[in-house]
Amino acid sequence: MRQASAVPKPRNSVLEPLSFKRHRFAPEIIRPAIWLYFRFSLSLRDVEELLAERGVEASYETIRRWAKKFGPAIARRLKALRPKPSPRWHLDEMVCRVGGKHVYLWRAVDDEGEVLDILAQRRRDADAARKFLVRLLRGQPIEPERITTDGLRS
């Protein structure tokens, strides 16, 4: 008799609970530490001091490891819970200097002012604009009704 092979179900990492097994600290300590680090752009040592004020002694290296391990999963969850953008988008570009070299910064914003995507690259041509638009459309839950540009050639 032939057994049916078990086909694994696809894992939805957004809804799957995070596992804090084999960690010394409780999830109630790890989650706020990661949130402080990413939400307020604090340094690891600042987060260490804030935890120490609350009686938790965790080194900045421990917080760095938490951010590296749990940060992407928490970011995916927050992105999934974010409300959908409005259907009217504005695309603009600007030139800035990074490391002494000119870089073109492409940005997409909805009509409520929410930044949808940002891309920095050295090229400013139709291929660069197309790459940015494809990336933008792939990462959004809705299609735009109207896209307004700043009227530049690219």
Q: pLDDT (tens digit, 0 to 9) for every residue of the chain, 154 residues total?
A: 455 555 444 455 555 678 888 888 999 999 999 988 888 888 999 999 999 999 999 999 999 999 999 988 887 887 777 778 888 998 888 889 988 999 998 898 988 888 888 888 888 888 888 888 888 888 788 888 888 887 766 5
The token pair that represents 10 in the structure block: 């696809």
Cβ pair 105, 93 in contact under 8 A: yes
Are β-strands 101-110 and 115-121 bridged in parallel, bridged antiparallel, or unpaired? Answer: antiparallel
Cβ pair 88, 110 in contact under 8 A: yes
Indicate whether this model's pTM tops 0.85: no
